[in-house]
Amino acid sequence: MNILKYSAILILISATSIISCKSQPTPYNPNESVIVKRINTDKISLSEFIDTTLLQRSENEIINFKKDDSVNINRKTDIVFVGSSSIRKWTSLKEDLKGLNAINRGFGGSTVAEAIYYSNTLILKHKPKKIVFYSGDNDVAILNSSSKKILKSYKLFYELIANKLPDTKLFILSIKPSPDRIKFWPQMNEINKMLKNYCTKTKNCEFIDVSTCIFDENKKIKSDVFLKDGIHLNEKGYEIWTSIIYPIILN
């Protein structure tokens, strides 16, 4: 996507979408701050959130990340995008976020617990200034976890980052609705509200709403922003996400 095309897209989307998206980040309120726990990351148990036999199902993707790091040892990384397939399939990420030293560390079908499990390879080794995190989709639809348990896993993820990278800012993207998973939307929306509330009280944590713009004026999901699978965004969907996320993480 060249600069002229990118600028035109941003202008168009700004005129038609951003206002209805409520895309302003949720500000941190120090008067309601959450105390960050001091956790021993070597003793984190993830069995509460996922069957531990599943934790190595993405090993091939992780190996590929390690190979990429090995041939880019001098790469400057300011921002890590991490999470499930909605991040992994964002193949135009570097182009869309031109001017930012961002890398894509999304891996297919992953959950919050798996992001924690592989956090050293995905995030910590890069010592980024900012992290953009998308997950929760599979925690709901595949693991059938409760909202309370999923929120707890997000908190553990935050606590891990806050302990290891205390100056790093975490941006949590809302769980998106999708045509194929519309029956899960009430719970996903509930979790989004919980995450937004948590970020309001938590230092270096901002919630970004990338869900509202997936609905049209009749509150129906826009089918033209998804791939044929009815779960993952297409190019148009990522253009909308870019218009929301880029200006927020740029600051």
Mean pLDDT by 10 residues, the chain (251 residues): 43 39 64 68 82 92 97 95 97 93 96 97 97 98 97 97 97 97 98 98 97 95 96 97 96 79
Q: How many domains does the chain have?
A: 1
Residue 42, pLDDT score? 62
Residue span of the structural domain in which 90 resides: 3-26+69-250
Per-residue pLDDT, 12: 39
When the pLDDT of each residue in the chain is averaged and rounded to a whole number, the result is 89
What pLDDT is attached to residue 21? 58
Q: How far apart are CA 231 and CA 16, in angstroms?
A: 23
C-alpha to C-alpha distance for 46 and 116, rounded to whole angstroms: 8
> Helix axis angle, 147-164 relative to 185-200, nearest 10°?
40
What's the pLDDT score for residue 8? 42
In a domain, 41, yes or no: no
179 inside domain: yes
In a domain, 54, yes or no: no
**What pLDDT, on the 0 to 100 scale, is given for residue 14?**
41
Smallest Cα–Cα separation from 52: which of 135, 111, 106, 124?
111
Q: Give the pLDDT of residue 10.
A: 41
Residue 60 belongs to some domain of the structure: no
Q: Tell whether 43 is covered by a domain.
A: no
Nearest Cα neighbor of 48 from 153, 126, 197 is 153
189 domain residue, yes or no: yes
Question: Could you tell me if residue 122 is inside a domain?
Answer: yes
Q: How far is CA 196 from CA 111, 192, 200, 238, in A?
A: 19, 6, 6, 22
CATH number of domain containing 142: 3.40.50.1110
Residue 35, pLDDT score: 63
Q: Is residue 196 part of a domain?
A: yes
What pLDDT sits at residue 19? 36
